[in-house]
Every structure is written in C-alpha cells, then in structure tokens.
C-alpha cells in the first residue's frame, strides 16, 4: 500500500525544498495531505513567484496545474482551521509527517504541545501515535531557545533535519543542492527515490 504523508509548509525560508518534496512524494505514489500557513503563502510568493491561494480547493488546483504529471487523486489540501481533517485525530493519523520548511515559531509551538492550528495539531497527533515526524528547520544561527526546543522534540521522537547539503557530489546547480536535502527527507519517511547518488556507489 502507498504511504500517506502529511506535508506542512510554514513561514521559514526554504520553499523550494517544500515544493520539491511535494512533487517527489506525489511522483512516488504517496497520498499527500498538504497543510500550509499564511506565512508560507508569503514565502512561496517571495522565493518562487508562486501564488499559493488561501482557499484549499484553489491551492489544490494551482498545485495540480504546477505538477500536471502527478496523480491528482493523491493530493488533499486542508485549511488551517479544518478540524475535521483526518490528520486532526489519532484515529486516522498519517504514516509520517514532514514540516518543510519549519519555522522556529512552529517548532516552538509543537515543542510545547500547543495545537492552535491544524499544523500544530497534526504534529501533536503524529508524535503521540508514535509515527515519524520530520522537521526541517531553516534558520541560522540557532539561539539557545531554538536548540532547547529541538532537543525537546528529538527526545519526544521527532527527527530534526536541518537543510544542510553535502558537496561531495559536486552539485552543478541550485536544484542539485535542493535535491540533496529532499533526498535525505525522503529517506527518513521510507520513500524511494533516485535524486542523488549514494555514498560508496560507483559514479
């Protein structure tokens, strides 16, 4: 059976990682439950000239238009206050959740167990149900508060995966750098890919 992955986009820089993840998850046949914050809409416009509409139905249509080759039936988009979404309950959790990019505000809220919106609630559900939660925090430098929140989440079972690309593959483009990070995220949730050559493999 294909995996169900909840992907949340928040207001940190790094939207190319998030949208590339969406493309790869759908391309791998995963069912994707997409959530996004208001700040993520601003970042998408700033970094990618992509208008992510406020209405979930319009956002879904825009994403399907952007990635026309993927199976549109595998993409669901939910609003920030859509409390009847499957991800809001431990009775129907996804197999994994990725927050990419993950803002420090979102990370802090999850670390404190807050559930003031659907992104925070979904993360809380995934943690309490023992599913994989991957956070991709895009901030630098980290303050002591940031690091303490990350440690707290790591101890609770989350994976903290900063978008730190390796250069041993001699990347030739920004896309190569993005794909390196996306590949590591996909590995964490058990989704196969061919985005990068693995260490020790013949070139």
Per the annotation, where are the binding residues for dimethylallyl phosphate?
168, 184
Return all residues near 94 (Cβ < 8 A) that are at least 6 apart: 4, 5, 6, 33, 86, 87, 122, 126, 131
> Closest Cα partner for 164 from 178, 143, 145?
178
> Closest Cα partner for 120 from 4, 3, 5, 6?
6
What residues are designated binding site?
11-13, 37, 103-106, 138, 168, 184
Distance (Å, whole) CA 186 – CA 80: 24
What residues are designated binding site for FMN?
11-13, 37, 103-106, 138
> Closest Cα partner for 160 from 119, 110, 199, 93?
110
């Amino acid at each position: 059976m294909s995996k169900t992955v909840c992907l949340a986009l928040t207001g940190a820089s790094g939207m190319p990682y998030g949208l590339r993840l969406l493309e790869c998850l759908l391309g791998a046949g995963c069912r994707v439950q997409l959530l996004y914050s208001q700040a993520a809409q601003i970042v998408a416009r700033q970094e990618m000239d992509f208008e992510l509409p406020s209405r979930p139905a319009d956002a879904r249509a825009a994403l399907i238009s952007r990635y026309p080759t993927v199976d549109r039936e595998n993409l669901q988009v939910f609003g920030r206050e859509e409390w009847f979404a499957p991800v809001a309950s431990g009775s129907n959790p996804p197999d994994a959740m990725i927050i990419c990019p993950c803002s420090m505000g979102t990370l802090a809220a999850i670390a404190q167990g807050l559930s003031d919106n659907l992104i925070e609630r979904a993360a809380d559900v995934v943690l309490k149900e023992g599913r994989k939660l991957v956070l991709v925090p895009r901030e630098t430098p980290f303050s002591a508060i940031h690091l303490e929140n990350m440690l707290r989440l790591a101890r609770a079972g989350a994976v903290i995966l900063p978008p730190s690309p390796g250069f041993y593959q001699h990347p030739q483009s920004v896309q190569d750098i993005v794909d390196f990070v996306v590949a590591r995220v996909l590995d964490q949730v058990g989704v196969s890919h061919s985005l990068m050559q693995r260490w020790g493999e013949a070139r």
